[in-house]
C-alpha cells in the first residue's frame, strides 16, 4: 500500500464510499418496500375483516328479515284459517232419540199427509160416535151404511158406548169391519176407566177391575199396573186401540165431581198410580189418554151441565193435579184430554180450558212439556154448547192448540167451520198439518221396524 500514490488511495476511498452509499440506499429501499408490503398486507387483512363483517351483518339482517316475514306470513295464514273454520256450538247433553226410527216414522207420516186433500185432513181431526157418522139411532154393526159414510167422511176415529156392545162376537166384528172400510188408519176409542165408567165391563163383556179409589187406597202401584194391563188386554182383544183413561184428577175432600174415579186426594200417591196405570195399559199395545186436564175435581160444578170453574191458581195446580198429569206424560201417554173447566186465576177470564191457548199451548205443552196429541173433552157438553156454536168451538179449540175434537154437538157444522176458517185465513193449512202429524205419528208408530 506504501507504493500507491495519493490519487490511487483517494480513488479507492471514493470507491469504498460509493459502495457503502449504494448499500445504504439499497437497505433503505428494502425497508420501505417491506413496510409497503406490510402495510398492504395489513390493509388487505383489514379490508377482508371489514368485508367479512359486512357480509355477516347482511346475512344476519337477511335472516332476521326472513324470520319476520315468515312470522307475518304465518300470522296471515292463521287469520285466514280462523275465518274459514265454522264456529261449532256444542249441543247440550241429552238422551239421544233413535234418529233412524224417528226419521223413518216422519217419512211415513209426511208421505201420507202429502197425499190427503184438505177435506180429509180436517175430518181426520175428529173423533165422533158411530151414530153421528151414520145418522142412525144406535149402531151395533158396521155394514154398507158404515162403509159408505166412512168413505164420505174420513174421520180420525169413532168412540163407542155400552149401547153399541151386545156380545163379544158382535163387538169384535163391528170394530174389524169398521177398520177395513177406512182408507186411513182409525182410532177406535172407549171410556174404560174401571169402576162406574167402564163401557165394556158395563155391557158384561169383561170383568170390572174395580174403582180407582179402591186401588189407590191400597197404595200399591203394582195393583194399578195390573188393573191397567187387564183393561188394555181385553180392549185390544176386541179391536179397540184407544182408551180414554186413566183419570189423573186429584180428588178433593167432599168433592163428588170425580168421586171414586180418582186414585185419591194425595197428589204424590195419585201421580205414582197414574204412571203405573199408563204403563200397564200400554203393555198391551193400547194407546192411552190421561184426563181431565187441568183437574176437574177442583170444581163443584159439572161441565156436562154448564160452566164449571175453579179459583185455583197456577201454583195450586202445580202442587196438586199437575203432579199426576206430569207423571202420566213422563210414563209416555199418547193423549191428554183437556176439560172445559174455566180457570180465571190463570187465564184471566172464563174461557174453558179446552178453548184456551194459555192452558193448552203455554201450560200443558210449554210448562209440562207434553208433545203428544191434545184432545178436547166431549164438545157436546153444556159448558160448550151453552156458549159456543159447534163451528166456533171447533175453530177456537184448534187455535188454542188442540189436535183433535171429541164429539161435537154438530159434526157437520164443526167440520164446515174449520174448512171455512182455513179458506178465509183464520186457520192455516199448516196448522191443520201440525196436528195431523201428531195424530199420524201415533197411528203409524207400530209400522216402524223395531
- Mean per-residue pLDDT pooled into runs of 10, the chain (450 residues): 51 50 53 60 60 50 48 55 47 51 78 94 98 96 96 97 98 98 97 97 98 97 98 98 98 86 96 98 97 93 90 97 98 98 97 98 98 98 97 98 98 98 97 97 79
Strand, coil or helix: 96: coil
In the beta sheet, which residues pair with residue 405? 126
What confidence score (pLDDT) does residue 92 get? Answer: 47
From CA 398, how far away is CA 356, in angstroms rounded? Answer: 10
CATH topology of domain 99-447: TIM Barrel (3.20.20)
The dihedral region occupied by 358, where left means phi > 0, alpha psi between -120 and 50, and beta the remainder, is: alpha
What confidence score (pLDDT) does residue 79 get? Answer: 57
Among 236, 283, 290, 286, CA closest to 261: 290
Q: Could you tell me the three cell numbers for 260?
A: 171414586
Q: Where are the domains of the chain?
A: 1-82, 99-447
**Catalytic residue selected from 18, 304, 386, 446:** 304
CB 114 within 8 Å of CB 140: no
The dihedral region occupied by 448, where left means phi > 0, alpha psi between -120 and 50, and beta the remainder, is: beta
Cα 401 from chain centroid?
16
Among 230, 264, 226, CA closest to 248: 264
Place of cell 459502495: 19
What confidence score (pLDDT) does residue 57 get? Answer: 45
**Any idea what the Cα angle at residue 83 is, between residues 78 and 88, rounded to 5°?**
110
Q: Counting Cβ atoms within 10 Å, is residue 131 exposed (0-12), middle (13-18) or buried (19+)? A: middle
**Catalytic residue selected from 191, 377, 391, 403:** 377
Looking at residue 402, the DSSP 8-state letter turns out to be: -
Whether 377 sits among the annotated catalytic residues: the reply is: yes
Which residues have C-beta within 8 Å of that of residue 295, sequence separation ≥ 6? 248, 249, 250, 312, 317, 320, 321, 322, 324, 325, 341
What confidence score (pLDDT) does residue 431 get? Answer: 98
Amino acid at each position: 500500500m506504501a507504493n500507491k500514490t495519493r490519487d490511487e488511495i483517494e480513488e479507492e476511498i471514493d470507491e469504498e464510499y460509493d459502495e457503502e452509499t449504494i448499500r445504504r440506499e439499497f437497505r433503505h429501499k428494502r425497508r420501505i418496500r417491506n413496510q409497503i408490503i406490510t402495510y398492504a398486507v395489513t390493509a388487505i387483512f383489514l379490508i377482508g375483516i371489514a368485508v367479512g363483517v359486512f357480509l355477516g351483518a347482511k346475512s344476519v339482517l337477511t335472516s332476521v328479515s326472513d324470520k319476520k316475514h315468515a312470522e307475518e306470513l304465518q300470522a296471515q295464514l292463521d287469520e285466514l284459517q280462523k275465518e274459514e273454520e265454522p264456529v261449532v256450538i256444542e249441543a247440550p247433553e241429552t238422551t239421544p232419540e233413535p234418529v233412524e226410527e224417528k226419521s223413518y216414522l216422519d217419512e211415513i207420516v209426511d208421505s201420507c199427509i202429502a197425499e190427503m186433500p184438505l177435506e180429509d185432513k180436517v175430518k181426520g181431526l175428529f173423533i165422533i160416535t158411530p151414530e153421528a157418522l151414520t145418522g142412525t139411532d144406535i149402531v151395533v154393526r158396521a155394514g154398507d151404511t158404515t162403509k159408505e159414510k166412512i168413505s164420505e167422511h174420513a174421520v180420525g176415529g169413532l168412540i163407542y158406548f155400552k149401547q153399541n156392545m151386545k156380545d163379544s162376537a158382535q163387538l169384535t166384528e163391528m170394530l174389524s169391519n169398521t177398520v177395513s172400510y177406512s182408507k186411513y188408519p182409525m182410532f177406535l176409542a172407549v171410556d174404560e176407566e174401571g169402576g162406574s165408567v167402564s163401557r165394556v165391563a158395563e155391557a158384561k163383556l169383561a170383568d170390572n177391575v174395580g174403582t180407582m179409589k179402591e186401588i189407590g187406597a191400597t197404595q200399591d202401584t203394582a195393583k194399578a199396573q195390573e188393573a191397567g194391563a187387564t183393561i188394555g188386554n181385553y180392549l185390544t182383544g176386541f179391536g179397540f186401540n184407544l182408551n180414554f183413561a186413566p183419570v189423573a184428577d186429584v180428588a178433593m175432600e167432599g168433592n163428588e165431581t170425580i168421586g171414586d174415579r180418582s186414585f185419591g186426594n194425595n197428589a204424590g200417591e195419585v201421580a205414582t198410580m197414574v204412571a203405573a196405570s199408563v204403563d200397564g195399559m200400554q203393555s198391551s199395545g193400547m194407546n192411552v189418554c190421561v184426563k181431565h186436564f187441568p183437574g176437574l175435581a177442583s170444581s163443584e160444578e159439572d161441565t156436562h151441565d154448564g160452566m164449571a170453574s175453579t179459583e185455583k191458581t197456577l201454583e195450586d195446580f202445580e202442587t196438586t193435579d199437575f203432579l199426576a198429569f206430569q207423571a202420566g206424560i213422563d210414563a209416555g201417554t199418547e193423549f191428554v184430554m183437556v176439560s172445559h173447566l174455566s180457570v180465571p186465576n190463570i187465564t184471566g177470564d172464563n174461557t174453558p180450558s179446552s178453548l184456551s191457548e194459555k192452558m193448552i199451548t203455554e201450560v200443558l205443552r210449554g210448562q209440562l212439556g207434553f208433545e203428544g196429541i191434545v184432545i178436547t173433552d166431549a164438545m157436546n157438553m153444556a159448558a160448550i154448547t151453552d156458549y159456543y156454536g159447534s163451528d166456533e168451538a171447533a175453530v177456537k179449540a184448534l187455535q188454542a192448540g188442540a189436535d183433535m175434537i171429541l164429539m161435537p154437538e154438530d159434526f157437520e157444522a164443526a167440520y164446515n167451520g174449520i174448512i171455512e176458517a182455513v179458506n178465509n185465513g183464520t186457520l192455516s193449512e199448516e196448522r191443520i198439518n201440525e196436528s195431523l202429524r201428531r195424530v199420524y205419528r201415533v197411528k203409524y208408530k207400530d209400522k216402524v221396524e223395531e
